[in-house]
Chains A and B, each alone.
Chain A
Amino acid sequence: MEYVSPEGLRLDGRRPMEMRQIRAEIGAVAKADGSAVFEMGNTKVIAAVYGPREVQNRSQQLSDQALVRCEYSMANFSTGDRMRRPKGDRRSTEISLVIRQTMEACILTHLMPRSQIDIFLQVLQADGGTRSACINAATLALADAGIPMRDLVTSCSAGYLNSTPLLDLNYVEDSAGGPDVTVGILPKLDKVTLLQMDAKLPMDIFENVMQLAMEGCKAVANYIREVLLENTKTLEYRRGV
């Protein structure tokens, strides 16, 4: 299958180094302490953050830091064919864990001992790169909730098909079976907090692909920062400052 035409266009008309269109909206769930919707092309994710609040299960309480919990799920209607998805299947458990670890690394948990932060992530529409979209949405929701963080975490994936590194794979490219590198970074600190790949790739190519994914992360970070600034300005305006 040809994923990049000789003219250098991908199946959806992007060039290899281009991302899909991203869009973000803060405050989609009024009841939550912080929430956001994040879209990468046709992938649409909603995130809701509750906390810091009292730990529900006392036995899990940590005396020196906050407990971060994360729940990832895909809506039944998120893919083309409506499917009943069991809660807590292997895939979503794994993604929940990955996202929890990534977010934990940037939340200043030691400032909130004996408390709990819940992050709920729901995929409304899946078209590849849900993991990255979830992390981006969670960052925005955490920022919206005003939870202290070291830096924003942003994530983006990149793959390698037809001997070309491709940024931000969509579902068709993702299911091609090629390597898929998901990277999460702290853009200001320039540190990697998440790096996942379940395929083999030669070292030099891997470095190229990862570099590409990191470029993508930085682009996402710029956009998220803009959205947050915009949001803060609206809040200011509403207060009439």
Chain B
Amino acid sequence: MLQSKSFVKKTKQGRVVKVVREHYLRDDIYCGASSCKVCDSSVACLSSNASPILIVDTNVVLNQIDLLENPAIDDVVVLSVVLDEVKNKNISVYNRVRALCSNSLRKFFVFSNEYHKDTYVKAMVGESPNDRNDRAIRVATQWYQSHLGGRTRVLLITNDRENKRKATEEGISAETIESYVKSLGRPDLLDLLVHPTSGDVSMGEVEDLRPAKRKVIYSEHKPMSEITSGLHRGIYHQGKLRVNRYNPFEAYVGSESIGDEIIIYGRGNMNRAFDGDIVAVELLPQDQWHEEKSLSIADEEDDEEEDVHLVPGSADDAPRTTNLVQGSARDSNSVSSRPSGRVVGIIKRNWHSYCGSLEPMPMPAGNGGVAHALFVSKDRRIPKIRIQTRQLGNLLDKRIIVAVDSWDCLSRYPSGHYVRTIGEIGDRDTESEVVLIENDIDSRPFSSQVLACLPPLPWLVSSEDLANPIRQDLRHLCVFSVDPPGCKDIDDALHCITLPNGNFEVGVHIADVTNFVHPGTPLDDEATQRGTSVYLVERRIDMLPKPLTEDICSLRADVERLAFSVVWEMTPEAEIISTRYTKSVIKSCAALSYIEAQARMDDSRLMDPLTTDLRNMNALAKIMRLRRIERGALTLASAEVKFQIDTETHDPLDIGMYQIREANQMVEEFMLAANISVAEKILKHFPPCSLLRRHPSPTREMLEPLLRTAAAVGLNLDVSSSKALADSLDCAVGDDPYFNKLIRILATRCMTQAVYFCSGDLSPPEFCHYGLAAPLYTHFTSPIRRYADVIVHRLLAASLGIYKLPTIFQDRPQLTSIADNLNYRHRNAQMAGPGLSRTPYCHLFQETADRHGGQNSEDKIEWLYCICAQVWYRRACVLDTKR
């Protein structure tokens, strides 16, 4: 083992510090080729057949990751120097490359050239880091060539002209990615290629046909150094650009430096920024802070278009009518006071791939070669993207995925490349697939490793479970569950008995998922990744495999099941006297639906024990609910829509509003109580590493749209506290029966979402849950469909001393990252829900809405756009017409 030292100079907070790090060079790093006799071949993954070994350089990885992900490209050596560079430049590409390298089906090998004694390269005097890395890549390629001794061809893939020239001089066979892909003879792969920008080797015959007379459409971005100094001096403001969902020509930048949102009108001012980019913004002079500019921008663009000559058949011929949504910024008095600005530079891009379709266009005459087309994303916030394709005919009526590559100031639209096809437009499967992809939801079937973790079926409670001292036998209790009709994943059940002293013993029994999902297993990893089950209109994407979800864990009627129970002793006034937590065995005596439970409670003739229990619990729940509302809990409506689905075709027939019954509220109340009790318990035992859920109190700015809309209809809302807000929401009753509902929906939309967090990351006053008015809250009651509950189950079991706490929960950063993932998955699952219900099924109501639209007052249209609950509104229209 040799040792050498590398001296690096590094700036840190403006200071220049010399950092000396050791750098050990090794001789035990292997080449990964299975044909190699010298190296340890246990880790080898490169095939031994005649195909060449590809060594890719950094820019190839960064730009052509979609191509690399295609199974046609294999036998790739990724050098550690390349990985490091990719990591510094784009973390998401880095993660994708890492995934490729760890995928056992793909032949990607990571060669740690920086630590190999023969391939380590020391920077020469005056050599830039880039040149040094390029040299390192060439040295490694050369090493591979001589190491494998001609048995296998080694090919350096680089698009850098200089690098390629030097490589050829040094006797390395080097090719550009284009020529390599062409040599494979797969024209479909060529669509995946990202087209080079200036400075790289040009594409050869596929040259840009656009005429030289190109106009500068967008202003040049400022160089990074200027942006940094501008930010420093307060001329520019940094923030994340968010494009208005309903008007893609309007965007906001939330800036901390001026403490307000800066509005950016029009694509010109947005200056090629995408939704989610971190941008630097310059404020416009105050006299230009007017609104409605967004509407005129389309005309301006048309004027400019006149003198830009285009090649026939090019995509820009396509009609450019942009039907703008008007009215979102109507009340001019409040808008004009808000600062507006323009983007001067982009600090961090948020480009990824987008779902959508090609803009309809006539097939280019004759030539079957390259065609330019415009891609329209389903997400309206994304501008059209120009792509090149050789299979236009195939793609025109398909939903496709496209990735963005670049956007220079000469072109109106960003250019991108085709990634893959999802399916026919309008096809139900395709459309749900699109929603899933847009929300990053993994709907693949479970892998065999995951399924191997399941207990054998049919599964029954074994005598070992019964004999286990940690498990209490509660089979004698009359336990029942109340769920929506047709629910198969029953994860909670209840019981209630009257104690001799007049108090009640109330138990909440939750499916004991952690008995089957053990930490560190593939099953657990998969569930961590999925985070939550996703409920779509016609299907459910499970977090856990079906046998667990619907059978082994589900607390169905008349079967013995394992549970985790929280048992309280309560006074008839619903005061909790004592709380007990235990693992248990239960046997549910009835799986009721909300309707059944409600019917039983309402039917005064029924006096059987189950009904009495139900009534007792309902009485307790009402007291608890009242107390909670007094504390200031908000009853917020969310657009929960119920679909009636045709049993044969699975097409939705009608949508209805989800009716909330007392039975729902009863179950909800006890679940809340169980969650709160568990939160207290785990926080007491694990103050730094409990997983809790909080709902931050909204600031006044966040409630601004709510207040503005309320003021527009002559309503005064008090938002000083959650209690005050709840009260004033109760008083907000308009003439429309949906008025109250709508204003509650709007209130919900104004608030931030509740999030999971790790208790060590925040201070106790921040733990509180605003919406529920609870100082502590967590999720415990649905472990079958939420992974957070699984974690909480483990924490609770550990706090009872039943199991050891898995190590990852003791690692705060890890728990935080899990919590972040859960929040992300949760949000996506929610987006997919209404997202799906909004998009493909709106045609059901289109007709009625159209017919009705003219008769509505201005106010209501205002409403419509202020609130995203379009479905709700249309529902209201449907009802109105029926009346």
Q: Chain A: residues with CB nearer than 8 A to chain B?
A: 5-7, 9, 11-14, 18, 20-21, 41-42, 80-81, 127, 163, 170, 172, 200-202, 205
CA distance A202 to B811 in the complex (A): 10
Measured between beta carbons, the chain A residues less than 8 angstroms from B804 are 202
Say yes or no for B115: interface residue by CB 8 A criterion.
yes
Given A13, A20, A42, A172, which contacts B26 in the complex, CB threshold below 8 Å? A13
User: In the complex, are the beta carbons of A200 and B24 less than 8 A apart?
Assistant: no
Interface of chain A, main secondary structure: loop
Stretch from B15-23, B359-367, B615-623 that touches the partner: B15-23
User: In the complex, are the beta carbons of A42 and B22 less than 8 A apart?
Assistant: yes
Given B3, B5, B22, B25, which contacts A170 in the complex, CB threshold below 8 Å? B22
Besides A21-B22, A42-B5, 9 more A-B contacts (Cβ < 8 Å) are A7-B110, A12-B23, A13-B22, A13-B23, A42-B21, A80-B17, A127-B22, A170-B21, A202-B807
User: In the complex, are the beta carbons of A200 and B23 less than 8 A apart?
Assistant: no
Measured between beta carbons, the chain A residues less than 8 angstroms from B19 are 80
Given B110, B115, B807, which contacts A13 in the complex, CB threshold below 8 Å? B115
Say yes or no for B80: interface residue by CB 8 A criterion.
yes
- Contact of A7 with B112 at beta-carbon distance under 8 Å, contacts A20-B22, A41-B22, A202-B810 already known: yes
Q: Chain B: residues with CB nearer than 8 A to chain A?
A: 3, 5, 15, 17-26, 80, 98, 101-102, 110, 112, 114-115, 804-805, 807-808, 810
CA distance A11 to B115 in the complex (A): 10
Given A9, A12, A200, A201, which contacts B21 in the complex, CB threshold below 8 Å? A12
CA distance A41 to B1 in the complex (A): 14
22 of the cross-chain contacts (CB-CB < 8 Å) are A5-B110, A5-B112, A6-B102, A7-B112, A9-B115, A12-B23, A12-B24, A13-B24, A13-B26, A13-B114, A20-B22, A21-B3, A21-B24, A41-B22, A42-B5, A42-B21, A163-B807, A163-B808, A200-B810, A201-B810, A202-B804, A202-B805
User: In the complex, are the beta carbons of A6 and B110 less than 8 A apart?
Assistant: yes
CA distance A163 to B811 in the complex (A): 9
CA distance A125 to B25 in the complex (A): 22
CB distance from A188 to the nearest CB of B (A): 28
Measured between beta carbons, the chain A residues less than 8 angstroms from B805 are 202
CA distance A11 to B22 in the complex (A): 9
User: In the complex, are the beta carbons of A12 and B112 less than 8 A apart?
Assistant: no
Measured between beta carbons, the chain B residues less than 8 angstroms from A6 are 98, 101-102, 110
CB distance from A12 to the nearest CB of B (A): 5
User: In the complex, are the beta carbons of A14 and B24 less than 8 A apart?
Assistant: yes
CA distance A5 to B26 in the complex (A): 15
User: In the complex, are the beta carbons of B80 and A5 less than 8 A apart?
Assistant: yes
CA distance A210 to B102 in the complex (A): 31
Shortest Cβ-Cβ A-B pairs, 5 listed: A13-B24, A13-B115, A12-B22, A80-B17, A41-B22
CA distance A81 to B18 in the complex (A): 8
Measured between beta carbons, the chain A residues less than 8 angstroms from B20 are 42, 80, 127
Measured between beta carbons, the chain B residues less than 8 angstroms from A127 are 20, 22
Chain B residue with Cβ nearest A170: B22
Measured between beta carbons, the chain A residues less than 8 angstroms from B807 are 163, 202, 205
Measured between beta carbons, the chain B residues less than 8 angstroms from A20 are 22
- Contact of A81 with B15 at beta-carbon distance under 8 Å, contacts A6-B101, A9-B115, A202-B807 already known: yes
CA distance A61 to B262 in the complex (A): 74
CB distance from A169 to the nearest CB of B (A): 12
CA distance A6 to B97 in the complex (A): 12
CA distance A173 to B17 in the complex (A): 19
Chain A residue with Cβ nearest B805: A202
CA distance A80 to B804 in the complex (A): 43
Measured between beta carbons, the chain B residues less than 8 angstroms from A14 are 24
CB distance from B670 to the nearest CB of A (A): 34
Measured between beta carbons, the chain A residues less than 8 angstroms from B112 are 5, 7, 9, 13
CA distance A163 to B101 in the complex (A): 20
CB distance from B520 to the nearest CB of A (A): 10
